[in-house]
């Protein structure tokens, strides 16, 4: 008589192994895409396109393009369903926690779904993941893909996560596509440099 308990255990191990392998492959592909994208284009110096974001979790508020003027902005497009995004998220949180008290800094963490996006489901999934990770950071939704479509039309949008750092005039000073371990430190360094630069402040600020 076959040992059904052992058989079930083997099946579970096999499923876990497949999930791990799939996650590794996704991460590897994200790294390849990231390096490829950054080699074939350089979007630094280009004006960031229009932004139209809605509050999703936490104390987020409606954000439009005018709200970015005079601020150093980090905008991160990610998804709870995306393994590379979840690897990168602690780095984004670290930057948020370091600079959240600076009125000249704005971090826009844009949670994105797969395919059609129902805002309530997106909110529930995002809130659940943040709570499970002990993360207290506001997040935003991109209704009807408006902001992502603007980015895609202006400079291209190839993968999740995608992160931009903008100077006080809304000009792109850094872009990261996909996940790599040094990205967080690079973002943090660039944000700090831009915040320290009075030359970046528009007249009247």
The verdict on residue 27 lying in a domain is no
Token pair for residue 129?
């993941």
The verdict on residue 15 lying in a domain is no
Radius of gyration over alpha carbons of the chain, in Å? 19
Entry pTM: 0.78
Burial class of 39 by CB neighbour count within 10 A (0 to 12, 13 to 18, 19+): exposed
The verdict on residue 163 lying in a domain is yes
Range of the domain at 109: 36-199
Residue 139 CA to residue 80 CA, distance in Å, equals: 12
CATH code for the domain in which residue 157 is found: 3.40.30.10
| pLDDT one digit per residue (tens) for the chain, 205 residues | 545 545 566 666 666 666 555 555 555 555 555 444 444 468 999 999 999 999 999 999 999 999 999 999 999 999 999 999 999 999 999 999 999 999 999 999 999 999 888 999 999 999 999 999 999 999 999 999 999 999 999 999 999 999 999 999 999 999 999 998 999 999 999 999 999 985 545 554 4
The verdict on residue 204 lying in a domain is no
């Amino acid at each position: 008589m076959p040992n059904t308990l052992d058989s079930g255990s083997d099946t579970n191990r096999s499923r876990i192994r497949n999930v791990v392998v799939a996650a590794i492959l996704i991460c590897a592909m994200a790294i390849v895409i990231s390096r490829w994208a950054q080699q074939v284009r350089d979007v630094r110096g280009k004006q960031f396109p229009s932004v139209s974001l809605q509050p999703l979790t936490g104390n987020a508020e409606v954000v439009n393009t005018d709200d970015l003027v005079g601020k150093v902005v980090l905008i991160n497009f990610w998804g709870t369903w995306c393994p590379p995004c979840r690897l990168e998220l602690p780095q984004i949180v670290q930057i948020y926690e370091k600079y959240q008290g600076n009125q000249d800094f704005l971090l826009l963490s844009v949670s994105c779904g797969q395919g059609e996006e129902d805002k309530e489901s997106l909110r529930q999934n995002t809130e659940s993941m943040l709570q499970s990770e002990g993360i207290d950071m506001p997040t935003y939704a991109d209704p009807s893909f408006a902001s992502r479509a603007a980015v895609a039309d202006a400079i291209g949008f190839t993968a999740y996560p995608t992160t931009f750092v903008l100077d006080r005039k809304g000009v792109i000073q850094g872009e990261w596509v996909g996940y790599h371990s040094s990205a967080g430190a690079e973002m943090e360094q660039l944000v700090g440099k831009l915040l320290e630069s009075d030359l970046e402040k528009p007249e009247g600020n």
